[in-house]
């Protein structure tokens, strides 16, 4: 029994020791990166290594390891220093174009929010000038109208009264003229005294004044000279007919009357606008005012699918608001097709000046990498990235204040492709190291 116990105790102790030795050996193998061989395998390996060390002898396996290490070293060098070696075919495939950095001109462009509004000088509120009942409606919202075209017809007693006075004055003028001619003939024949002649002459003058006065009253009611001249030929029932006509060519924006309604002479029954030109209302910041002058060309853009249009800065407000610290501005914009509708929000851009810059490059040459602005320049080992600092810019070019010198060659077309290539190589290199 004692012997059996002794054997069991030895087994219990030996098994953990053996397992520990095995685990320790495996860890040593993983840290050293070299396989641990025993017996004949180790002896064979030593012979093999001795054979490789003989002069003039190189193994294919040794060349393979050397090439892999060299490739990894090249990848690490490219990732660290930003070198991108490319063949001529690859350069052509990426469409890479280089230019020399040099001086240039930057435009000061002001971007201003705006809104399309009606041209106040090309719109009108149509009033009837007389009171009356709506008898006909010929134009409604959205309809096109010509200048002088009839839009609606009223039945007006006020017009009838004014027309009657005019016709009566015309009749009195006819009688006064005949009486004057008779008295003048008798006076010349010494039949009647001169006083009768003078009285008839005065009556003729008063009749002429009455006709002129009543005629002017009719024209003051909005009747044209042609319509007034036709008044004597009108039938009695047409003296009350008053036609509301458009004062300009354009489009009906509002209609404020219905059939049978009584309208007054002060009521605006129509609103008409000629929208061949519209205004763009813009707000000008206090600091922007020194750059702006009347007559400047302004480029107008909209979020809607409308082509860019150009207008003229025709008004700059003389006052600056106390609260907003802005002045009002106005751009006159041609609108022959009516596509710039009042109420649209737009962006107005004004080229307000130019400034000469010592070092200016195209914006497309600058890429953002790791929170820094970089450009790509050709070098001995290929294209390499160079960190730069930027300054003023416009839509197409940017000022370089550091990192480049005049005459340095930079990549313009293909700059983004080089950035993508560099980032891809960096990711591939990291992925390879992870294995």
Q: Which DSSP symbol is given to 326?
A: E
Do the Cβ atoms of 302 and 348 come closer than 8 Å?
no
> In this predicted structure, what is the pLDDT of residue 82?
56
- Residue 144 sits in the same domain as residue 194: yes
Cβ neighbors of 407 (< 8 A, separation 6 or more) are 100, 101, 102
Residues counted in the chain: 435
Q: What is the pTM of this model?
A: 0.58
Q: For residue 217, what is the domain's CATH number? A: 2.40.50.100
Produce one character per residue of 90-110: b if its CB has 16 or more CB atoms within 10 Å, e if not. Answer: ebeebebebeebeebebeeeb
**Residue 350 shares a structural domain with residue 219:** no
Q: Do 256 and 388 have their domain in common?
A: no
Closest CA to 311 of 325, 323, 319, 301: 301
Same domain membership, residue 339 and residue 244: no
Residue 75 lies in a domain: no
The answer to whether position 257 is within a domain reads yes
| Residue 11 covered by a domain | no
| 321-329 contacts at long range (C-beta below 8 A, 24 or more positions apart) | 324/283, 325/285, 325/286, 326/283, 326/284, 326/285, 326/286, 327/283, 327/284, 327/286, 327/289, 328/281, 328/282, 328/283, 328/284, 329/112, 329/281, 329/282, 329/283, 329/284, 329/292
Q: What is the per-residue pLDDT for 357? A: 86
Question: What is the pLDDT at residue 35?
Answer: 34
Domain's final residue, options 273, 292, 325: 273
Report pLDDT for 203. Answer: 92
Q: Is residue 42 part of a domain?
A: no
Distance CA 201, CA 176 (A): 8
Domain shared by 257 and 340, yes or no:
no
Write down the pLDDT at residue 425.
60
Quick check: is 28 in a domain? Answer: no
Complete DSSP assignment for 242-253: EEEE-SSSEEEE
Residues 203, 179 share a domain:
yes
Task: Give the CATH number of the domain where residue 314 resides.
Answer: 2.40.30.170
The total number of structural domains in the chain stands at 3
CATH code at position 397: 2.40.420
Same domain, 246 and 284: no
pLDDT of the residue at 353: 76
Residue pair 281/264 in contact (Cβ under 8 Å)? The answer is no
* Longest CA–CA separation in the chain, Å: 188
Is 18 a member of any domain? no
Claim to verify: residue 377 and residue 342 sit in the same structural domain = no
Q: What domain range includes position 347?
A: 110-119+275-354
Same domain for 158 and 252: yes
Predicted pLDDT of residue 237? 59
Same domain, 318 and 400: no
Q: Are residues 141 and 267 in the same domain?
A: yes
Question: Are 188 and 220 contained in the same domain?
Answer: yes
In a domain, 19, yes or no: no
Domain end, chosen from 354, 386, 407, is at 354
Kindly give, in sequence order, each residue whose CB lies less than 8 Å from that of residue 305, ignoring residues fewer than 6 positions away.
none
Tokens of 250: 């354009």
Residue 389 placed within a domain: yes
- In tens digits, what is the pLDDT along the chain, a chain of 435 residues? 344 434 333 343 443 333 334 333 333 333 333 333 333 343 344 444 434 444 334 333 333 333 333 333 334 334 444 577 877 878 888 888 888 888 988 877 888 999 999 999 999 999 999 999 999 999 999 999 999 999 999 999 988 888 889 999 999 999 999 999 998 998 888 888 988 889 999 999 999 999 999 999 888 888 888 888 887 777 665 788 899 999 999 999 999 999 999 999 899 999 999 999 999 999 999 888 888 999 999 999 998 788 899 999 999 999 998 888 899 999 999 999 889 999 999 999 998 777 888 999 998 999 998 889 999 998 877 888 889 999 888 778 899 999 999 998 999 898 888 888 777 765 454 444 444
The last residue of one of the domains, among 216, 245, 273, is 273
């Amino acid at each position: 029994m004692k012997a059996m116990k002794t054997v069991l105790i030895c087994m219990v102790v030996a098994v953990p020791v053996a397992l520990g030795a095995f685990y320790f050996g495996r860890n040593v193998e993983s840290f050293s990166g070299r396989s641990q061989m025993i017996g004949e395998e180790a002896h064979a390996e030593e012979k093999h290594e001795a054979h490789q060390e003989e002069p003039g002898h190189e193994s294919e396996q040794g060349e393979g390891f050397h090439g892999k290490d060299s490739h990894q070293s090249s990848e690490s060098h490219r990732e660290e220093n930003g070198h991108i070696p490319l063949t001529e075919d690859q350069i052509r495939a990426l469409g890479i174009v280089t230019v020399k950095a040099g001086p240039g001109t930057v435009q000061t462009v002001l971007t201003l929010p705006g809104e399309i509004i009606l041209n106040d000088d090309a719109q009108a509120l149509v009033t009837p000038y007389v009171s009356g009942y709506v008898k006909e409606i010929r134009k409604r919202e959205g309809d096109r109208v010509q200048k002088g075209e009839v839009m609606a017809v009223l039945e007006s007693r006020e017009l009838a009264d004014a027309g009657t006075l005019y016709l009566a004055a015309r009749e009195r003028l006819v009688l006064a003229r005949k009486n004057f001619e008779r008295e003048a003939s008798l006076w010349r024949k010494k039949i009647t005294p001169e006083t009768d002649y003078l009285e008839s002459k005065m009556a003729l003058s008063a009749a002429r004044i009455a006709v002129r006065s009543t005629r002017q009253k009719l024209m003051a009611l909005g009747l044209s000279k042609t319509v007034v001249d036709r008044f004597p030929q009108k039938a009695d029932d047409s003296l009350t007919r008053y036609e509301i006509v458009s004062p300009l060519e354009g489009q009906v924006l509002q209609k404020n009357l219905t059939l049978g309604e009584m309208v007054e002479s002060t009521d605006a029954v129509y609103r008409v606008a000629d929208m061949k030109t519209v205004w763009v209302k813009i707000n000008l910041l206090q600091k922007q005012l020194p750059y702006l002058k009347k007559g400047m060309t302004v480029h107008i853009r909209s979020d809607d699918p409308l082509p860019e249009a150009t207008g003229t800065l025709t008004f700059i407000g003389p006052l600056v608001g106390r609260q907003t610290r802005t002045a009002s501005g106005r751009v006159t914009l041609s609108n022959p097709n009516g596509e710039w509708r009042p109420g649209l929000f737009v962006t107005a851009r004004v080229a307000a000046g130019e400034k000469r810059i010592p070092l200016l490059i195209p914006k497309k040459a600058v890429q953002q990498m790791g929170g820094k602005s970089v450009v790509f320049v050709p070098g001995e080992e290929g294209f390499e990235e160079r960190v730069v600092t930027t300054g003023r810019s416009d839509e197409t070019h940017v000022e370089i204040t550091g990192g480049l010198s005049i005459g340095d060659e930079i990549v313009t077309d293909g700059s983004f492709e080089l950035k993508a290539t560099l980032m891809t190589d960096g990711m591939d290199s990291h992925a390879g190291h992870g294995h």
